[in-house]
Amino acid sequence: MGALIGDFIKPKSSSAWAPPLLLLFIFLAILSFQFSSKSVFPIGLISSGPGHDHDDPRKSCAGFFGHVALLPRRKVVMSITDFGGVGDGKTSNTETFRKAIRYMQGFGDKGGSQLNVPKGKWLTGSFNLTRQNGTIDGQGKMWWDLWWNRTLEHTRGHLVELMNSHNILISNLTFLNSPFWTIHPVYCSNVLIKDMTILAPLNAPNTDGIDPDSSTNVCIEDCYIESGDDLVAVKSGWDQYGITIARPSSNIIVRRVSGTTPTCSGVGIGSEMSGGISNVTIEDLHVWDSAAGVRIKSDKGRGGYIANISISNITMERVKIPIRFSRGSNDHPDEGWDPKALPIVKGIFISNVVSLNSTKAPVLQGIEGASFEGICFKNVTLLGLAPSKTWQCEFVSGFASEVFPMPCPQLQNNGSSSWCSYS
Ligand SMILES: *[C@@H]1O[C@H](CO)[C@@H](O)[C@H](O)[C@H]1NC(C)=O
Ligand SMILES: *[C@@H]1O[C@H](CO)[C@@H](O)[C@H](O)[C@H]1NC(C)=O
Ligand SMILES: *[C@@H]1O[C@H](CO)[C@@H](O)[C@H](O)[C@H]1NC(C)=O
Ligand SMILES: *[C@@H]1O[C@H](CO)[C@@H](O)[C@H](O)[C@H]1NC(C)=O
Ligand SMILES: *[C@@H]1O[C@H](CO)[C@@H](O)[C@H](O)[C@H]1NC(C)=O
Ligand SMILES: *[C@@H]1O[C@H](CO)[C@@H](O)[C@H](O)[C@H]1NC(C)=O
Ligand SMILES: *[C@@H]1O[C@H](CO)[C@@H](O)[C@H](O)[C@H]1NC(C)=O
Ligand SMILES: *[C@@H]1O[C@H](CO)[C@@H](O)[C@H](O)[C@H]1NC(C)=O
Ligand SMILES: *[C@@H]1O[C@H](CO)[C@@H](O)[C@H](O)[C@H]1NC(C)=O
Ligand SMILES: *[C@@H]1O[C@H](CO)[C@@H](O)[C@H](O)[C@H]1NC(C)=O
């Protein structure tokens, strides 16, 4: 709860694909939109299909998805039903939403406005929340202070949390100072997060940039992130709870993300990974002055798996440990965790990495008794490293080729395994 500027109402929606009458449909259960001259939400809705972006020769997820969602309380509060909306899952509300949003935007400089969408099934085509870009300030300082002085009894709010939502586009916004993680899609699918700037003080606790969690088909592209925790962290549930819920994260693309986080990593996978994480592509990442470039985190008690992870074209400057696999520090939700629930890590393909002025070589710590295999490195160059800094590997196995400095013996340096070519 509670993030931005007032009450944060979690968008909850259930997906369903609609009859072929309109281009795009979403069913929204509880959702509210806000407008003010200070915070503008240009969650522009793209109604085009694939091919939208074919002028751009770069790989891109644009045109992949199209859609919405957001939040809190303002001077004028109205309901979509005030505009004649019908949430029966059959009536098209497209014109109603467009009309309502046009009307509500008129209060942007008059104290702001909030449009509530009550529980129901709301069939609609695309509509724009606004056309301008804008900045949303989570004003997290109060929450960080409470956390620092240990007077906080509850967890902190995310700046934007989307649950059970499908076809979401968040783009061209600046998000500042989240109390906790900044964007948290959980139990979602088809989410495009593009052209975002996310900033928090570099010491602000747990201010992760973007955390896809138990979600599928998520693309995070062209984002600049500076924060006090991982720029992007892929997750899927914690210990016995995550194992029971068993909702994996899969088919995740993280592309052209850049930024810095002095105590954490560019992209993290885990440590909450108990529902399983697979098919993650991380590419064209640029990270500087950070603790790690890419970090895979797991622990005893997690169970789950991390599989088919492709990491390529990573550029780093002054990153302490460029690639790191680590065990948690006894970080469990409660006493009910199962010490026999070990994670399986299989198929991590890391290629085309250049790191300048790291302080350590990669540190790959698996877990005793757990399987960490098919860990492959190709064309990985770490420059400016003191000669005494060698790779540290424990309970991992795999292959390496064209790697400098020489990798640890657990990674057979013969480079011929076709097995390693996950793509
Ligand atoms: C949404 O905004 C875009 C960009 O300004 C525009 O092309 C599109 O027609 C708008 N869609 C609607 C439904 O107003
Ligand atoms: C977004 O807004 C900022 C500040 O208002 C402006 O400088 C920038 O040009 C805008 N960008 C786009 C793409 O409209
Ligand atoms: C903790 O921080 C909050 C927010 O700044 C402040 O209101 C509170 O007095 C602080 N408590 C202590 C014990 O320092
Ligand atoms: C972001 O804004 C730029 C400039 O207006 C525009 O070219 C781009 O398509 C927008 N991105 C998305 C995903 O809407
Ligand atoms: C991962 O990708 C592979 C190859 O495309 C596919 O066979 C597999 O089903 C995918 N896994 C998930 C969980 O989507
Ligand atoms: C590698 O990533 C950088 C961004 O960090 C990008 O500018 C460059 O084009 C990428 N190279 C290739 C070969 O894709
Ligand atoms: C990993 O990829 C392989 C080959 O594409 C596929 O058979 C397997 O199902 C994938 N594993 C997961 C957990 O998605
Ligand atoms: C090795 O990786 C670097 C950095 O991404 C890239 O510039 C270079 O072309 C790669 N070399 C080969 C042989 O792929
Ligand atoms: C790496 O360190 C060397 C020696 O201190 C310095 O000259 C160089 O500018 C550094 N490069 C980067 C990218 O930090
Ligand atoms: C590389 O190591 C693998 C696994 O031990 C082995 O199967 C393969 O034959 C080796 N290749 C070469 C060229 O030595």
Residue nearest (by alpha carbon) to ligand 2 atom 5: 134
Residue 21: phi and psi, rounded to 5, are: -80, -45
Taking the model in full, what pTM does it have?
0.78
Domains of the chain, first to last: 230-423 (2.160.20.10)
Contact at 8 Å (CB) between 106 and 142?
no
Amino acid in the structure at residue 87: G
Q: Is 125 in the pocket of ligand 1 (CB under 6 A)?
A: no
**Higher-confidence position of 25 and 158:** 158
> Ligand 1 centre and the CA of 199: distance in Å?
28
Distances (CA, A) of 226 to 39, 126, 196, 370, 399: 20, 32, 11, 34, 33
Q: Is the pLDDT of residue 3 over 60?
A: no
> Ligand 7 centre and the CA of 368: distance in Å?
24
Distances (CA, A) of 185 to 52, 84, 238, 241: 24, 30, 16, 18
Q: How confident is the model at residue 15 (pLDDT cuts 50, 70, 90)?
A: very low
Dump pLDDT digits (tens) for 336-360: 999 999 999 999 999 999 999 999 9
**Mean per-residue pLDDT, 9-21:** 27
Residue 172 confidence (pLDDT) = 87
Residue 155 confidence (pLDDT) = 86
Tokens of 106: 């008129």
Closest-CA residue to 142 (of 160, 158, 156): 156
Q: Is 354 in the pocket of ligand 6 (CB under 6 A)?
A: no
Residue nearest (by alpha carbon) to ligand 9 atom 2: 357
Q: Is 131 in the pocket of ligand 1 (CB under 6 A)?
A: yes
Pocket test for ligand 6, best of 223, 253, 254, 256 (most atoms within 8 A of CB): 256
Dump pLDDT digits (tens) for 82-101: 999 999 989 999 999 999 99
Residue nearest (by alpha carbon) to ligand 5 atom 14: 250
Residue nearest (by alpha carbon) to ligand 5 atom 13: 250
> Ligand 1 centre and the CA of 128: distance in Å?
6
**Higher-confidence position of 118 and 267:** 267
For the annotated catalytic residues, the residue numbers are 229
